[in-house]
Amino acid sequence: MNIFKHYQNLIKFCFQGNCGYVASRFYLAEVLIEELGEWVDLKNKKVLDVGGERGEFCQALVQKKHCQAVNLEPKKLDFVWKTVSGRADNLPFKDKSFDVVLLRGVLQHIPTFKKEKSLREIHRVLKNHGLLYIMVPPWFSPLSGQDIKPFQYFPFKMARHLRNSIFDSQIKANSLAELGLWPMTFGATQKLIKKTNFRILKTTDILFRFHFLTRLPIVRELLPSVGWVAEKG
- Asked if residue 179 lies in contact with residue 107, where contact means CB atoms within 8 angstroms, the answer is no
Same structural domain, 106 and 140: yes
Same structural domain, 197 and 163: no
* Helix (H/G/I), strand (E/B), else coil: 98: strand
pTM of the shown model: 0.92
Residue 30 domain boundaries: 3-144+183-232
- Asked if residue 119 lies in contact with residue 149, where contact means CB atoms within 8 angstroms, the answer is no
pLDDT higher than 90, residue 27: no
Same structural domain, 166 and 191: no
Beta strands 198-205 and 226-232: pairing type? antiparallel
6 to 27, 38, 104: CA distances (angstroms): 10, 18, 20
Same structural domain, 21 and 109: yes
Same structural domain, 36 and 135: yes
Report pLDDT digits (tens) over 124-176. 999 999 999 999 999 999 889 989 999 999 999 999 999 999 998 899 999 99
Domain count, the chain: 2
Same structural domain, 71 and 159: no
pLDDT higher than 80, residue 42: yes
Same structural domain, 78 and 162: no
Which CATH number fits the domain that encloses residue 41? 3.40.50.150
- Asked if residue 148 lies in contact with residue 173, where contact means CB atoms within 8 angstroms, the answer is no
Same structural domain, 87 and 107: yes
